[in-house]
Amino acid sequence: MSEKKVKKKSKLTRNILIALVSAIILGLLLQSKAEILNEYIKPFGDIFLNLIKFIVTPIVFFSIIGGIVSMKDIKKVGEVGIFTIIYYFLTTSCAIVIGLGFANIFKRVFPVIATTNLEFEVGEKVSFMDTLVNIFPKNFLTPMVEANMLQIIVGAMIVGFSILLIKKESQDKAIGAVEVLNDIFMKAMELILSLSPIGVFCLLVPVIAENGAMIIGSLASVLLVAYLAYALHGLVVYSFTIKTLAKISPIQFFKGMAPAIMFAFSSASSVGTIPINIKCCEELGADHDVTSFVLPLGATINMDGTAIYQGVCAVFIASCYGIDLTLGQMVNIVLTATLASIGTAGVPGSGMIMLAMVLQSVGLPVEGIALVAGIDRIFDMGRTTLNITGDATAAIINTERLRRKGKIA
């Protein structure tokens, strides 16, 4: 990395950190002005998020096509895909076990909350077969318009593999065009990301002002348990995988990931964090073809933080209702929370909707979600941070594997 680039990056990291800290301080000081902050500061955060949403679909679409065509060999793409999915699945199962374990250890400190008069509307139940059918786009543009990441990934894979199968002359032209489009959107992304400190500040101040006082209330214990579990999973599981499978020092990894981590914490959106996550992983040495495939996939299907949250909240809600979960119910939670986290969209608040599915699967009252709904954003900031960190470990580990096998330089 050139010296100029390193300087630029550390300046951005420093500015995001300053924005984050000042947003927390100001938010706590201005708790009585939450409404005004929501009216006048949040819109600037929303503008920034709009720009991120604008850039994220072309980035994902073209970078996945770019990733496939530059790996050239179909077998190599398949190998990265299979390894990644197994890795995602194993780390998510580990996350939910940690979440459940922590919640059970600490459940005595959970308050018993009056459990009448709770209301929570359950959305329509989507069957497994419907979910499967919905992965495949039925229109070329709708996935982009709706930012349906899984459909965009499938569409990009079809186009990418088709480019590999057309005649050489057209293939070269297509690859050239994809590379140019990739460069254009990457540049646009860089411009938008340079606004991150302002975006982070404007997004976070109203959230802190609105929730600050509430955290001190009776929900502090469940939040603390969730954050402890997030931290344990991040610091122990990811440090272990990154150290053993990628031979990178965890300190170097977390330092390099700082901008993406702060961004995810403020935006609570894995999908919105894709661009900055790609940047951080590549600066840590991950290969562009790998990041452009593994990170969008991770932002869509790999949600370790969400899985932990679901485990902790399931135990919390059960204990508020005076219900003791059986071992069978816990196993059921591990399975459904792993699947639910795959189906969770990488946008703010979606994990809470999927919590309904987890509660239903073990026969817990879904209205219990109302107990934690008020502070969902605070849970969400932590779970999103963990979600994107897990995706990044997969990108770096995959790169290292391919390098060791001599498949990339």
Binding footprint of ligand ASP on the chain (CB under 6 A):
268-270, 303, 306, 344, 346-351, 380, 383-384, 387
102 vs 265, beta carbon nearer ligand ASP: 265
346 vs 368, beta carbon nearer ligand ASP: 346
* Cα four-point dihedral sign 193, 280, 349, 206: negative
Count of CA atoms in the C-beta half-sphere (13 A) of 297: 28
Residue 161, both tokens: 């593999």
211 vs 269, beta carbon nearer ligand ASP: 269
Give dist(CA 333, CA 373) in Å, integer. 19
Closest CB to ligand ASP belongs to which residue? 351
Q: How far is the CB of 236 from ligand ASP (least distance, A)?
A: 20
Instruction: Tell me the DSSP string of 10-59.
Output: HHHHHHHHHHHHHHHHHHHHTGGGHHHHHHHTHHHHHHHHHHHHHHHHHH
182 vs 300, beta carbon nearer ligand ASP: 300
Residue type for 140, please? Answer: F
Residue type for 341, please? Answer: S
333 vs 408, beta carbon nearer ligand ASP: 333
304 vs 400, beta carbon nearer ligand ASP: 304
Give dist(CA 189, CA 199) in Å, integer. 14
Residue type for 87, please? Answer: Y
Q: How far is the CB of 305 from ligand ASP (least distance, A)?
A: 7
Residue 309, phi then psi, degrees to nearest 5: -55, -45
At 374, is the secondary structure helix, strand, or coil? Answer: coil
Closest by Cα among 301, 349, 357 to 332? 357
Give dist(CA 267, CA 203) in Å, integer. 7
Count of CA atoms in the C-beta half-sphere (13 A) of 362: 27
Phi-psi region of 216 (alpha: psi -120 to 50; beta: other; left: phi over 0): alpha
Q: How far is the CB of 292 from ligand ASP (least distance, A)?
A: 19
77 vs 372, beta carbon nearer ligand ASP: 372
Give dist(CA 313, CA 117) in Å, integer. 19
- The answer to whether residues 357 and 385 touch, using CB atoms and an 8 Å cutoff, is no
250 vs 349, beta carbon nearer ligand ASP: 349
